[in-house]
Amino acid sequence: MILSFTVACALIFACLLAVQIDWALRFTKLLRSQTKPPVDAPLPRALVLLCLRGADPFLGRTLRALLAQTHEQFHLRLVIDSETDPAWEIVEPFLEESQDPRVQVRVLKQRLTTCSLKNSALLQETAELDDDYEAIVQVDADAVPYPNWLRDLLTPLRDPQVGATSGLRWYSPADRSTAGLIRFFWGCAAMIQMVQFKMLWGGSLAIRRDLIDGTSLRSIWARSLSDDLTLNTALHEAGLKEQHVPAVLVNQEGIDLKGCFQFIRRQVVFVRLYHAAWTPVSLYAATGSIALLLAAAAFAGTVATGDLWQAPAILAIVAIYGMSFRWLMLWVDDRVRTRVAIQGETLPPREGWHALPVPLTMLMYTACYLSAACLKQIQWRGVVYKFTRSGTARMVNDAPFEDRLLPAEASVL
């Protein structure tokens, strides 16, 4: 029996690794791609929306980077959660410094209880759009865009068949904390999956105006927690396609273990509720969980029966898979670093990155998956939301964000 468990564990890990290599190769192909639109087609005029609740550590850099875009035909609209939100402490000095007429600031007034506060902000600002806006662009406060970011995101929308484009989120912790490295390894695998299963990311997202005016997207937002994973329904309704672009936005924020768990679990919950890829993603996660359980059962069996000669083989199987996963993710990270260098940026060096976060990442993702599979409510930036299996949501509490320093767990989507 122990030998059977060991063999099954080895075969499962081998299959998982083969799938991961295939997805990684597809992802790196995207990083090397170049969009070549018709030269006579102008870029869409865009409204860039930045929804703020709390003062993100890199918010000032994000705001300055948005005004430094090479494509200048856009308006930047900041939607702040309340009149007392800590984000004002960063926004007000920025407004005084920039004096840029393209920047508009509004406070969130239409606070629906059937969706997330971010969706409420999107609904408020898309209710009456000026006629000259051809695209709506979303960016997160923890995503610092490079100078050509808006141009790269809008370029594919020149194709009338493309309804939405999404950039790539990449974690590159400046510190060496275990939680930061766990989120890095999870983020690598998650971003590869997002590209594979056509999951858009609301932190770097451009939406064709037609999706807002001609589909049920606003109605979907009004009863959902997610603003990005729900886009696929509207795209299908309009007969348009989504497209990932090799526009990498780097997140260097720190995080603690509790915050890392809550963040990853929330991402898994949103996939479960709002994206058709939940079945293959769930199968992938369940397969990894089964492999770990088989390894644990086989190891416990060797201890219970005294057949300790099999224990090294079990540990070796898990170690080989862990080292292979680590090598693959670092290999992908090297390709991302090349892309980031093309964008004119550099990432912190990887010296001092220890290997311990790899098995911890496997364990944490398993725990997040098992917890998310039965979860009925989440907390997001101090707000508690309850939801049903169909994804309909209800905000339990609504209060202004009071913490001057944003909690590490309160990462945005």
Q: Which helix (H) or strand (E) holds 3?
A: helix 2-32
Residues in contact with 16: Cβ distance below 8 Å, sequence separation at least 6, in sequence order: 284, 287, 288, 291, 321
Enter the tokens of residue 82.
């309340």
Each of the 413 residues of the chain gets a pLDDT tens digit; together they read 666 767 788 888 899 999 999 999 999 999 998 755 545 678 999 999 999 999 998 999 999 999 999 998 999 999 999 999 999 999 999 999 999 999 999 999 999 999 999 999 999 999 989 989 999 999 999 889 999 999 999 999 999 999 999 999 999 988 888 999 999 999 999 999 999 999 999 999 999 999 999 999 999 999 999 999 999 999 999 999 999 999 999 998 889 999 999 999 999 999 999 999 999 998 988 888 888 888 888 778 787 777 666 778 888 888 888 899 999 999 999 999 999 999 999 888 888 777 788 889 988 999 999 999 889 999 998 899 999 988 889 999 888 887 654 544 444 33
Separation of alpha carbons 338 and 246, rounded Å: 11
Enter the tokens of residue 40.
């006579």
Question: Degrees (nearest 5) of the Cα angle 313, 310, 305?
Answer: 150
Enter the tokens of residue 190.
């998650």
Helix axes 311-342, 357-372, angle to 10 degrees: 90
Residue type, 306: G
Task: Kindly give the residue spans of alpha helices, DSSP state H, lying in 197-308.
Answer: 209-214, 217-221, 231-238, 257-274, 278-305
SS3 for 137? strand
Q: Are strands 74-80 and 46-52 parallel, antiparallel or unpaired?
A: parallel
280 to each of 143, 178, 277, 285, how far by Cα in Å? 28, 29, 6, 9
296 to each of 80, 97, 218, 293, 361, how far by Cα in Å? 48, 58, 47, 5, 16
CB–CB of 361/374 below 8 Å? no
CB–CB of 211/240 below 8 Å? yes
Q: Which regions of 15-143 does DSSP assign to beta strands (E)?
A: 46-52, 74-80, 103-107, 135-139
SS3 for 43? coil
**Computed from CA positions of residues 318, 321, 324, 329, in that sequence, does the dihedral angle turn out positive or negative?**
negative
pLDDT (0 to 100) of residue 2? 61
What does the longest C-alpha to C-alpha distance in the chain come to?
Answer: 76
Domain boundaries, the chain: 1-413
**Computed from CA positions of residues 61, 63, 64, 70, in that sequence, does the dihedral angle turn out positive or negative?**
positive
Separation of alpha carbons 50 and 66, rounded Å: 10
410 to each of 53, 258, 280, 284, 385, how far by Cα in Å? 10, 11, 28, 27, 14
**Computed from CA positions of residues 313, 315, 318, 322, in that sequence, does the dihedral angle turn out positive or negative?**
negative
180-183 own/partner pairs: CB under 8 Å, 24+ apart: 180/254, 180/255, 180/260, 181/353, 181/354, 181/357, 182/257, 182/260, 182/357, 182/360, 182/361, 182/364, 183/255, 183/260, 183/263, 183/264
The correct answer on CATH 3.90.550.10 for the domain covering 1-413 is yes
Residues in the chain: 413
Enter the tokens of residue 230.
């729900």
